Structure 1
Amino acid sequence: MTRIKDLREYLHALDELGDLKVIKREVSADLEAAAITRLAYERGLPAPLFDRVTGAAPGFRLFGAPAGLSSVQGKPWARVALSLGLPLDLTPEQLVEKLIATCGATPVPPVAVSREAAPCKQNVLLGDEASLDRFPVPKVHQEDGGPYPGTWGVIIARTPDGRWTNWSIARIMMIDGKHMTGMVVPPQHIGQVWQEWADIGNPVPFALVQGGHPAISCVGGMPFPDAEVDESGFIGALLGEPLEVVTCETSDLQVPASAEIVIEGHLSVGRDAIEGPFGEMHGYMSADTSAQPIYSIEAITYRDDPIWPIVPEGRPVDECHTISMPGLSAAALKELRSAGLPVTMVWLPTYAANHWLVITVPQNWRERLPGIDSAEFTRRIDEILRSTRAGQMMPRAFVLDDDIDPFNDQELIWALATRVHPVKRVKVSEGWATPLHTCFTPEEKVAGRGPLVIHDGLLPAPGEGRLAHSSFAGAYPGDLQKRVLEANDWGLSQ
């Protein structure tokens, strides 16, 4: 597979796959581009590239659904795969395992290049000229508090002592041409970095990166690898080669040299602006606002004819589900395996909008844990799970035998309906409740605490009431299945 170097090569590859739609008519950045992108998500259409944006200088473009599910038949995860340098027929299970393996690999740090070799330095705006007013900053939902420069842009920030440089995504709203605000909360990595600067009373140097290698935003949007692991080295290990970076104009932070647009400045340590509301990953428009720090813009650098990626997140499936859910799944699976528990897979079903988590276990788990019943096994899983970010965030978790494929929504719905008791075999604890989880009451969201449940959906042991599947694979002899498949009466691809 040809290595993708930047967003432009990625767009070319999508075009060759038939998964890119170039929209040549003039489109407004005020809701219209986002509306077209939402339609593409919901109808499984190619990713839209907007060639002409109302009010923007010729050449300025917007790009929607950069890592949504693909329109390519039989390759729904092709955009994610192409972004991460993986085979186009990637399955979510392979993605989760790849993330875990990369977390255990030696990081490949980025390499610095000269300003002359960095496309992101083709245009440099400083001082008063460094304003968002010249860019087509998108407004992505009708009820949003303003345009949102940060929906797929990666924030780069470093702890005051320099030990950790974090690349992550958190939503950012435009206040005016020189100022932005955004969600900066302690569970997020940007919130952890910000708190260390707030503790010493100094503003945080930051860079907001739009575009570049498509892996940058994918990894930046994953709550994985673990805290205090530099994403730049993780991306290098994932791709098998280092990213090229260049030093900022206003700080010693290093940013991807192939970025389309880099916005630089300082983030205040006070909470001086009102951010929101914003339509979020749960699929509902929230009315919530909150006091957040202010990003003051001091420099903007960009490529000729820059491309601004946008993610109008909402009802599944979009990047908030294709990216964050594999990351959370990998983090939880890694911890459960590290604890020595026999677990086959962990998956956050994309259509559950970050509200469900499914754990599958091998059907011989009783042999591997002699003397342990399903209630105790589920309790042990829950104990480890709730120590992870994924476990702390998921209102509902389900433990199932691995005769069920958690990535197959048809199988999963059948198993949850037929194996999970309405009220029994469930453990209830208390954990984190957030406004992003619409199932909680207003009082629970304000308190930040709510019930977390885990359901024991494990089948009885063989010979103790376990029922066979009345399916093609489960209700007919193996030799008959083989004969039917070989006959191939429908001419199906084998």
Structure 2
Amino acid sequence: MRKHLKSLRDYLEALDALGDLRTVGQEADTHLEIGAVIRRAVETCGPAPLFTAIRGHAPGFRVLGAPAAFSSLPGARWSRAALSLGLDPATHPLELVEELAAARRLDPIAPVTVDSGECQQNVLLGDDASLAAFPIPLIHDGDGGRYVNTWGTIVVRTPDGTWTNWSIARVMMVDDHTMTGMIRPLQDLGKIFAMWRERGEPMPFALAQGCAPAIPFVCGMGLPSGLDEAGYLGAHFGEPLEVVRCRTVGLTVPATAEIVIEGHVAVDETAPEGPMGEYFGYLGGGSRPWPVFRIGAITHRDDPILPVVSAGKPVEEDHTVVGLTYSAEALVSLRAAGLPVTGAWIVPESAVNVLAVTVSRDWARQGVFTSTRMLCRAVAQAVLRPKVGYWITRIMVFDDDIDPTDTRDVIWAYATRCHPVRGQLLVEDQRVTPLHIFYSPEEQGVGGPKMVYDCLLPPDGPQRPRSTAFAENFAPAVQRRALHLWEGALKGT
């Protein structure tokens, strides 16, 4: 049974109960100090920091850092993701992937619109709708500005009203009433923006900050275009999400959000944005013009909380969210192609560049594939396409005696099973992101090469090497006796 945490505050209570939340009560500055604390917490797998005293801002305004980074619990690093998705904190990450993939087979459950929500306890309109009161941080030394959005939900709708898209994209503050941010043509936000631009009308938007913890995961999932994220998440929880109507635009937003910014995106006006510390681990993107977001209203809860992600060197939320949700999308694609796949995992430590796929060891008996190379090529064909393939630059295919979430397993199997030359399959002319720093400017525009690594052992038979691993080498009876002996020794008996 899933426990649906319906607000950020419910989530913080759950984190606190696990000992995975820390209050930063000393006064902190939005100029780099908050960003530096968050980055340190991320890199040391520390508790999530909650800043309650922010220099130059009224008491009550708060900032939450590392909302879905690795947990401080050594035996449950994915507990923040598990809690967010309504599951036990100790849930194995591959089970999280299976849960997300399973919800794709369910009929969507549309959200319900309620008359009022906590997100509108305070309403600021016109000139009063100013970003000045909110503790928007300069996160990295070198960022092009203060980023209003690193974890919030951008809500837009097609002009005909048939598709509402929830997504995450970086949005930078220009001044108290204006923002700018990446709207890439290949992403759903860009596709809908193009529809409004074709009509010659500014695009209505709402930016909801501090939503229920599952919402950012589905916003970063890369669902098929045309599928509403709210309906998918309703199916996952088995009940509709509650949304409320915006005050100035014809959109609805999660009712328990902490802060909601409403307005329109200009179709004929841009402002420079960037650079910004990004998920690759470097200050990236340079400074380039992106569309202007004009603010018409801001609503917020009493004592609002602004969640902030310090994007950069793994593992942070770009890697946990994209790694987890795109693993589920990859698994859906691989199974839809009829491949003998038992698991898919985008390795978060790789800055979501590496997809590790495991296949059943009896794949050769199915009679479909005549070689490991043929099977690996079929895996690549199934996943190197929008939207999953946009992030991935390398695929590793393993037998399923490997746990793809265990970095030790992945490195060992890659190093000992993949031939340095024959084990590589080159796939050329693939879409890449501008943040893939190893691609040339030309490749970033027209596409670049990607690589598949054949890490499969020979099929079952005399040529298959015998593993020395505990679970593989010893008979079940010996394993049980060994565990009994060892557990007794640990207990001192």
Task: Name the count of aligned residue pairs.
Answer: 489
TM-superposed CA distance for 1:146, in Å, is 0.2
The answer to whether the aligner puts 1:233 opposite 2:231 as a matched pair is yes
Query: Counterpart of 1:364 in structure 2: which amino acid?
Result: D
AA of the residue aligned to 2:53: R
- Shift, 1:230, TM fit: 0.8
Whole-Å separation in 2 of the counterparts to 1:252 and 1:341: 43
Partner of 2:158: 159
Write out per-residue CA displacement over residues 126-145 of structure 1, whole angstroms, 9 at most, x where no aligned residue.
11110101111111111111
| Counterpart selection for 2:346 from 336, 345, 348 | 348
- Taking structure 2 as the reference length, the TM-score comes to 0.96
Q: 2:452 aligns with which of 420, 433, 454?
A: 454
* Superimposed CA distance per residue, residues 183-207 of structure 1 (whole angstroms, 9 cap, x where no aligned partner): 1002222111111111221110000
Aligned-pair CA distance for 1:213: 1.2
Checking the alignment, whether the CA contact within 8 Å between 1:159 and 1:197 is kept in structure 2 is yes
The equivalent position to 1:393 in structure 2, one of 391, 394, 397, is 391
Equivalent runs, 1:94-113 vs 2, <5 Å: 94-113=95-114
1:380 paired to 2:378:
yes
Give aligned-pair identity as a percent.
Answer: 46
Q: Contact (CA 8 Å) 2:362, 2:460: kept in 1 or not?
A: no
Secondary structure of 2:477's counterpart equals helix
Q: Contact 1:271/1:291 (CA < 8 Å) preserved in 2? A: no
Q: Does 1:470 align with 2:468?
A: yes
- Tell me, yes or no, if the aligned pair for 1:27 and 1:50 is still in contact at 8 Å: yes
Alignment correspondent of 2:217: 218
Which consecutive residues of structure 1, in runs of 5 or more, have no partner in the other structure?
none
1:316 corresponds to which of 314, 317, 326? 314
For residues 415-446 of structure 1, what are the alpha-carbon distances to aligned partners after superposition, in whole Å with 9 as ceiling and x for unaligned? 0111111121322122113232223234423x
Aligned to 1:19: 20
Q: Secondary structure at the match of 1:465?
A: coil
Measure how far apart 1:290 and its partner are: 2.1
Match of 1:411 in 2: 409
Deviation of 1:288 after TM superposition, in Å, equals: 1.7
- Other structure's SS at 1:381 match: helix
Match of 1:437 in 2: 436
Which whole-Å CA distance do the structure 2 matches of 1:491 and 1:405 have between them? Answer: 26
Does the CA-based 8 Å contact 1:144-1:279 persist in structure 2? yes
CA distance in 1, matches of 2:72, 2:441: 38
Distance of 2:305 and 2:383 partners within structure 1: 40
**1:204 equivalent in structure 2:** 203
Correspondence for 1:88: 89
Is 1:242 paired with 2:270?
A: no
Aligned partner of 1:265 among 235, 254, 263:
263
1:188 and 1:16 map into 2 onto residues whose CA distance is 37
**Structure 1 residues 86 and 477, CA, compared in 2 at 3 Å: closer, same or farther?**
closer
Cα distance in 1, alignment partners of residues 16 and 108 from structure 2: 31
Quote the residue 2:149 is aligned against: 150
Kindly provide the CA deviation profile for residues 328-384 of structure 1, in whole angstroms up to 9, marking residues without a partner as x. Answer: 111111111111111111111110002111111000001123562212212222222
Displacement of 1:30: 1.6
Tell me which residue corresponds to 1:49: 50
Relative to structure 1, is the Cα distance of residues 39 and 340 closer, same or farther in structure 2, using a 3 angstrom cutoff?
same
Cα distance change, pair 302–452 in 1 and its aligned pair in 2 (3 A): same
Counterparts of 2:422 and 2:388 in 1: how far apart (Å)? 24
1:121 partner amino acid: Q
- On the 8 A contact 1:434/1:448 being kept in 2, the answer is no
Q: Is the 8 A contact 1:170 1:183 kept in 2?
A: yes
Query: Which residue of structure 2 aligns with residue 132 of structure 1?
Result: 131
Change (3 A) 1:85 1:2: closer
1:371 to 1:53, Cα distance in 2 relative to 1, 3 A: closer
Instruction: Look up the equivalent residue of 1:56 and give its one-letter code.
Output: H
Question: Which ranges of 4 or more aligned residues in structure 1 deviate by more than 4 Å?
Answer: none
What residue in structure 2 maps to residue 296 of structure 1? 294
Query: Partner amino acid for 1:128?
Result: D
Partner Cα separation in structure 2 for residue 102 and residue 60 of structure 1: 36
* Greater Cα offset, 122-131 or 426-435: 426-435
Quote how far apart the aligned CAs of 1:271 are.
Answer: 5.4
Gaps of 5+ in 2: none
Is the Cα–Cα contact under 8 Å of residues 332 and 388 in structure 1 kept in the other structure?
no
Q: State the 1:449 CA deviation.
A: 1.5
